[in-house]
Amino acid sequence: MELQEAIRERRSVRKWLEKKIPEKTINQLIDAASWAPSSCNRQAVKILAVQEKEGREFLGRITNGGVGFAHKAPLLLLFMADSRVYSLPVERHTPYLDCAAAIQNLLLKAHELGLGAVWLNWCLNQKSEAETYKRFKIPAYFTICSLVAAGYPAIKAEDIPRKPLEQFFVREKF
C-alpha cells in the first residue's frame, strides 16, 4: 500500500469482529508507533496494550470518546509519555504531541494491516484517571495522553468528504 493511499483511505472504525489480533500484528503496530518523530528524539512514548476483557471494560467505562463501544474492541492501546524527560515549562504540551505522532503512525499501520482503529479522547475525570494508574500499576511519572481502540472491522467505514485545500490552509496571512 502506498503511503498516500493509506492516508486517504484510513477511517475511524467503531465496530469490530470478535477476533483476537495476533501478537505479531500487535508488534507491527507498536513498531510503527516507535518510529514516529518525537521532541528532541526523546522517544518517551510508552504504550500499554490491553486485551483482557476486564481491562477493556474498565477503560471503556472511563474513556471520554468511546463510551458504549470502546470496550468491544479486541485491543485497546493506552498511549502515555514519560514526563521525566520534559523539564521546561514550555514543554507542557509536548507529551501529547509526541503521543499524537506515534498514534498517527499506528493508525496508518493498522489500516495497512487490515485493522480498523479509532483514536479516542482520554478520560472523563481525575478520579477515573487515578483509578487507571492504580488498576494498571502505571508509574506516576507517566502522563496518559490518549486511547486507541483497534480490531478487525465488522463494517466498512464511510468515505467522508474533505474540505477543498483552499479551505484547509492560508498562505502568508489571513
Measured CA to CA in angstroms, residue 166 lies from 8, 42, 145, 160 at distances of: 18, 35, 31, 18
Query: pTM of the predicted model, to two decimals?
Result: 0.93
Contact 169, 20 (CB under 8 A): no
Please answer whether residues 117 and 150 qualify as being in contact, where contact means their C-beta atoms are separated by less than 8 angstroms.
yes
Would you put residue 114 in left (φ > 0), alpha (ψ -120 to 50) or beta?
A: left
**Polymer length in residues for the chain:** 174
- Taking only the tens place, the pLDDT of each residue in 8-24 is 999 999 999 999 999 99
Average pLDDT for 149-172: 91
Residue 88 pLDDT exceeds 90 = no
The grid coordinates of residue 40 equal: 528532541
Of the candidates 52, 60, 67, 64, which has an alpha carbon nearest to the alpha carbon of residue 145? 64
Give the domains, in start order, of the chain with CATH numbers. Answer: 3-154 (3.40.109.10)
